[in-house]
Chains A and B, each alone.
Chain A
Amino acid sequence: MGDSFSMKIETYLDGELSAQEMQAMDAHLRGCASCSADAMAQLHMKRAVKLTGTRYSPSPELRAKVQRGITQEKPVFWQRWLSVPVFALLLIGLGLYVSQTAGSRNRIYSELTDLHVATLASANPVDVISTDRHTVKPWFQGKIPFTFNLPELNGSDFTLIGGRVAYLGQSPGAQLIYQIRKHQISVFIFQDKNLPGKLQLTSGKQLSFSTESWNSNGLSYFVIGDTSGDDIRRLGELLKSAAQS
């Protein structure tokens, strides 16, 4: 057994020799039975210590306690005095308000979708048939309690088909039918104050129809059609520009 090697077996097994020394030790162990047996014995011991030493596990409760301790923020003033029951009541109230608001909004969207579908299914979808906005807009005079601007469509691929009076929540509003390629699009305009809920500024899908809605100058606009969302958005932009003019 080479003394210089045997003294380094432990360090070798700990992986702490330099690369050069590791190579030299590898070569030595292949030729020295005594050192090789010694290394094997020490390796067994090292593994046994690892096995025996890994034996204590924390309880799940301790882990949860420490985890909670790390993530819990220091309570601020209002959290200190706000009792759990009060907080629970507030949450319930907030939940009811949110669900009621969302429910009203969903009802409006559903009804407008139904109106759109019913209009397309009708033998007479519009009461005023004209591609001329200067004909369609005046037709609504005296039929609805508000007025609105319609966009100039020259240069766009939208065509105005006509319009009709629609009712939502027993309040009258305007329904305009536009066409792009072979798709028909309804534009509903109602007074905000007469709606059972508030329309959100949003783009989305309703029963796979593309929709867009917004509020402007006390009026709620809702555009719906089976064309792409991009078409619906473009028509929406034209209507928004007209409303500002």
Chain B
Amino acid sequence: MGRLVYFSEVPKDRETSAMFAELAMPLFDQLYNFAHWLTQDRSEADDLVQETYSKALRGFSSFQPGTNFRAWIYRILRNTFLTSRTGLKATSVQVELDEAAESIAEAETPESIFIDQSQQQLLQKAIEALPLHYREVVLLCDVEEMPYKEIAETLSIPIGTVMSRLARARRDLRQALQVKLVRR
């Protein structure tokens, strides 16, 4: 990314800025966390978040009051990332399965799974290693706790695709973790 973003380029009045800040700033930590997971680099995450806020403020007039602001600004962040160098590189990795043909992955047959501290590090690496389309959906669902509908809106995909990607992402995580099965 590396492009400096000048907010002063953004035409705005005091009322618009205040309204935007009221909606956008409470999401700052979450958006940053998500940006970091997408870029996997602190400096790029910084740039991505700044550019997202700048674009969102510039396009705030297109936001319909009463609709989902979180989905709106996450979509801006994601689209900004996808058009960045890192984002383009990430999306060039093919999603292995044809999503239309994807079915919800069969659940494994664990009696119980226990994830301890040492496995958290493995889990972090496993999330980082997920292809972008799976990584983002599992983060939006499990970290941001977005409902399927909001994820679909954010990623501009059907709810069915959200579900199939989620199932696939979780299956990959389980496999990568080599989850220990502990019978309770």
Q: Which residues of A contact B (CB under 8 A)?
A: 1, 6-7, 9-11, 14-16, 34, 37-38, 40-42, 44-46, 48-59, 62-63, 65-75
Contact of A66 among B8, B28, B112, B148 (CB under 8 A): B28
In angstroms, Cα B167 to Cα A11, docked, is 9
Contact of A53 with B143 at beta-carbon distance under 8 Å, contacts A45-B170, A45-B173, A66-B49 already known: yes
In angstroms, Cα B162 to Cα A10, docked, is 12
B37 touches A56 (CB 8 A): yes
Contact of A16 among B53, B112, B148 (CB under 8 A): B148
Q: Which 6 A-B pairs have the closest CB atoms?
A: A69-B7, A53-B143, A41-B113, A56-B36, A58-B32, A49-B142
Contact of A70 with B57 at beta-carbon distance under 8 Å, contacts A10-B167, A49-B143, A49-B173 already known: yes
In angstroms, Cα B177 to Cα A48, docked, is 12
A53 touches B170 (CB 8 A): no
Tell yes or no: B65 within 8 A of A by CB: no
10 contacts between A and B (CB under 8 A): A38-B109, A40-B112, A41-B111, A42-B107, A45-B170, A51-B120, A55-B33, A56-B32, A56-B36, A65-B50
Which stretch (B19-27, B67-75, B82-90, B91-99) binds chain A? B19-27
Contact of A74 among B5, B12, B114 (CB under 8 A): B12
Tell yes or no: B79 within 8 A of A by CB: no
Q: Report the interface size for chain B: residues with CB under 8 A from the other chain.
A: 61
In angstroms, Cα B37 to Cα A53, docked, is 8
B33 touches A57 (CB 8 A): yes
Contact of B54 among A10, A50, A69, A75 (CB under 8 A): A69
B33 touches A56 (CB 8 A): yes
Tell me what chain A mostly uses at the interface: helix, strand, loop, or mixed. Answer: helix
Contact of A71 with B28 at beta-carbon distance under 8 Å, contacts A10-B167, A16-B147, A37-B111 already known: no
Q: Which residues of B contact A (CB under 8 A)?
A: 5, 7-8, 10-14, 17-18, 20-21, 24-25, 28-29, 32-33, 36-37, 42, 45-46, 49-50, 53-54, 57, 104, 106-115, 119-120, 123-124, 127, 138-139, 141-143, 145, 147-148, 163, 166-167, 170, 173-174, 179, 181, 184
Across the interface, which residues of B come within 8 angstroms of A42, CB to CB? 107, 113, 170
Across the interface, which residues of A come within 8 angstroms of B170, CB to CB? 10, 42, 45
B143 touches A70 (CB 8 A): no
Give, as a whole number of angstroms, the nearest-CB distance from B37 to chain A. Answer: 7
B142 touches A37 (CB 8 A): no
In angstroms, Cα B184 to Cα A40, docked, is 11
Across the interface, which residues of B come within 8 angstroms of A63, CB to CB? 28
In angstroms, Cα B31 to Cα A181, docked, is 69
Kindly report which residue of chain B lies nearest to residue A46, judged by CB atoms: B142
A38 touches B107 (CB 8 A): yes
In angstroms, Cα B174 to Cα A48, docked, is 11
In angstroms, Cα B33 to Cα A59, docked, is 11
Give, as a whole number of angstroms, the nearest-CB distance from B104 to chain A. Answer: 6
Across the interface, which residues of B come within 8 angstroms of A48, CB to CB? 115, 119-120, 123
A11 touches B163 (CB 8 A): yes
Across the interface, which residues of B come within 8 angstroms of A69, CB to CB? 5, 7-8, 10, 50, 53-54, 57
A53 touches B7 (CB 8 A): no
In angstroms, Cα B115 to Cα A41, docked, is 9
Give, as a whole number of angstroms, the nearest-CB distance from A11 to chain B. Answer: 7
In angstroms, Cα B37 to Cα A54, docked, is 10
A10 touches B127 (CB 8 A): no
Give, as a whole number of angstroms, the nearest-CB distance from B99 to chain A. Answer: 17
Interface centre among A54, A58, A59 (most CB of B within 10 A): A58
A37 touches B20 (CB 8 A): no
In angstroms, Cα B57 to Cα A140, docked, is 69
